[in-house]
Structure formats: C-alpha cells, structure tokens
Amino acid sequence: MALDNLIDGRVIANQIHEETQRRVIALKDQCGPPGLVFVRVGEDSASRVYVGMKEKACERLGIQSQIQVLPEETTEKELLGLIGELNIDPAIHGILIQAPLPKHISEATIFSAVSPNKDVDGFHPLNVGKLLLGDTDGFIPCTPAGVHELLIHSRTPIDGTDVVILGRGNIVGKPMAAILCQKSEYANATVSLCHSRTENIDEHCQRADILIAAIGVPQFVKEDMVKPGAVVIDVGVNRIPDSTAKNGSQLVGDVDFDAVQKKAGLITPNPGGVGPMTIAMLLRNTTQACAKANGLKPDIFNT
C-alpha cells in the first residue's frame, strides 16, 4: 500500500506549534502568559479526552490553562454565571465551552454569552458573522481553520476548484464553506455543502476536487464516490463496535480509508490528520486573544 499521499496533520500541527511557542514567549515578555480556560459540563467520555489533550498541549507551549468541570445537572443560569465571571477575569484570554452540552442547556445561548474577544472557538455570532463577511479580525472555528491550513501546507490548489463538504454543522461544515468560498487568497472555491437531505450525494462527491467529510457516519465515503486524484479530508471521529478490540470498539473516520487512499491524490490519515490541527488552531487563537486584550499589534509576533 503506497503511503506517499498522506497529509500528515501531526507534522503540520507541530510546525504551527513552533510558531505559537515563539508567540507565547513574546507575550510573556510583554504582558504575561496567555490564559485559556476549558469548561466541561458532565462526563461525556469523548469530551474528557479532547479537553485533556488540549490542556496538555497548552502546558507544552507555556499557555496557562485551567479546566472547570461542572456536574451534568448544572443549570443554564449557573453556567451563564460562570461565563460572566470568566469574561471579566483579566488573566483569562480565551474561553472554551466544550460541546456537546447537556440537552437542557442551549448551546446557542451559551456560545453567545462568551465575550467575543475571548471566543477562541469562533462560535459567538459576532465571530460567525465576521467570518461570513470576510472580516479577518474575528476568530475562526478551530477545526475548519485547521483543515484550511492542511490544504495550504499540502499545496493543494483551492482557487477555482470544486469543493464538496459533507455535513452542515455549525462547528465544521458551515464555517468550512464560509472559509473556502471567500474572495481571497487560498479560497475562491465553488463550494457544495451536502447533508442528510441532499439528493444524489454520490454524484456531488464524484465531481469534488477537494472532498471534506464531516458527516458523522462511519466510513461513509467509499472509493466509488471519489474522483481519481481528489484531495480527501476526513474530519470524522466515530466509535464502532469491534469484538477483536480490547475495549470492544474502535475509532474510525467518515472515510473508508484503505479503499479511498488508493484513489485519492492526497488524503488525511485518521487519527493523525485533522485532530492535531484543531488543537494547533486553538492555541494560536489564544495567543491572538491575549495580544488583543493587551492592546498589542499582531506585528509583535514577527520576531
């Protein structure tokens, strides 16, 4: 099996971390370290793993982080109270409320309550609006921003290409479409956003120069859905039963990797593709939030 068509997210994320580390050092020198708080409500096992990984990455780079864990029964009002306190804490520059939240809490209400200046996830309506308008001053959601960096670093042409995105979620699909359809460098794509009600989804996929799967269906993208030479990005993380595995399950993406890899021009492995990039973008956004909070211009990072 040829493995020379992989887009290695770990390598690219590490390159970005090196730059972020330089930014952290510059910030420590000028105003003190960047601070990021993670808020997790309940004990969703995937969320525990993700927040733990993000926190470890902060530690490695010298970003001061803390995790606030609240019980599943926390009310929306209580969570809003905590966010209000974090919004005015000068040592905290970034606030991440890990999704999914328990069903009795409205994610839209919570994401809107985070100060847009500390919204390193890019989920606040002001930042969503800025992204859509092409205003580069806001925060961009970390996973689609990471996918964009993977395309840029792998020198994948984007301008004028047909991009098909599977999944219209607020965290990946919609912001991904907004990034790639902008009238700007590394964008200018013709974007189709496919979802559960899309007819003839295979045909859409077959014309994609870049196919981005964020649909949450295990191994949804099969070989016959992919144009030869297409760039395939797998955002999916799905747990499926596996009687041969120690814990009785295994993680797979939204792409049938072994079959699709033979046909794709470039493809992300999973794990080791998009996941590390999400973390890299989060830490980079946090340095940006810290610089802004301290009235520093972005050129302090040009060291």
The dihedral of CA 283, 101, 268, 163: what is its sign? negative
Question: Of 22 and 48, which has the nearer Cβ to ligand GUN?
Answer: 48
Q: How far is the CB of 275 from ligand GUN (least distance, A)?
A: 10
Going by C-alpha positions, the residue among 126, 223, 210 that lies closest to residue 164 is 210
Cβ proximity to ligand GUN: between 172 and 221 the closer is 172
Task: By CB under 6 A, name the one of 64, 115, 127, 143 that touches ligand GUN.
Answer: 143
Among 130, 96, 156, 113, smallest CA distance to 281 is for 96
Q: Which is nearer to ligand GUN, 12 or 237 (CB)?
A: 237
Q: Does the active-site annotation cover 4?
A: no
Q: Are 202 and 236 contacting, i.e. CB atoms less than 8 angstroms apart?
A: no
Smallest distance from ligand GUN to CB 227, Å: 28
CA-CA-CA-CA torsion sign (212, 217, 219, 224):
negative
- Nearest 5 degrees, angle CA 31-CA 34-CA 39? 145
Q: Which of 64, 119, 121, 219 is catalytic?
A: 121
Q: Which two tokens stand for residue 63?
A: 């970003």
Residue pair 165/214 in contact (Cβ under 8 Å)? The answer is yes
Is position 268 an interface residue for ligand GUN (rule: CB under 6 A)?
A: no
Q: Which of 113, 142, 230, 232 binds ligand GUN (CB under 6 A)?
A: 142
Q: Closest separation between CB of residue 121 and ligand GUN, Å?
A: 5
Q: Is 171 in the site for ligand GUN (CB under 6 A)?
A: yes
- The footprint of ligand GUN on residues 64-103 (CB under 6 A) is 96-99
Q: Which two tokens stand for residue 14?
A: 């590490």
The site that binds ligand GUN (CB under 6 A) totals a number of residues, namely 9
Q: Is 68 among the catalytic positions?
A: no
3-state helix, strand, coil in the chain (%, to 5): 40, 15, 40
Closer residue to ligand GUN, CB minimum distance, 5 or 170:
170
First to last CA, the chain: 43
Site for ligand GUN in 114-133 (CB under 6 A): 121
8 Å CB contact between 151 and 179: no
* Distance in angstroms (rounded) separating the CA atoms of residues 283 and 63: 8
Q: Which residue is nearest to ligand GUN (CB)?
A: 99
Write the binding mask 19 to 58 for ligand GUN: x where contact by CB under 6 A, - elsewhere: ----------------------------------------
State the nearest-atom distance from the C-beta of 143 to ligand GUN, in Å.
5
Question: Is 209 annotated as catalytic?
Answer: no
165 part of the interface to ligand GUN, by CB under 6 A: no
Phi, psi of 5 (to 5 degrees): -110, 25
> Which is closer to ligand GUN, CB of 40 or CB of 263?
40
**Dist CA 237 CA 6 (whole Å):** 18
Using CB under 6 A, list all residues that contact ligand GUN: 96-99, 121, 142-143, 171, 278
By annotation, the residues acting in catalysis are 54, 98, 121
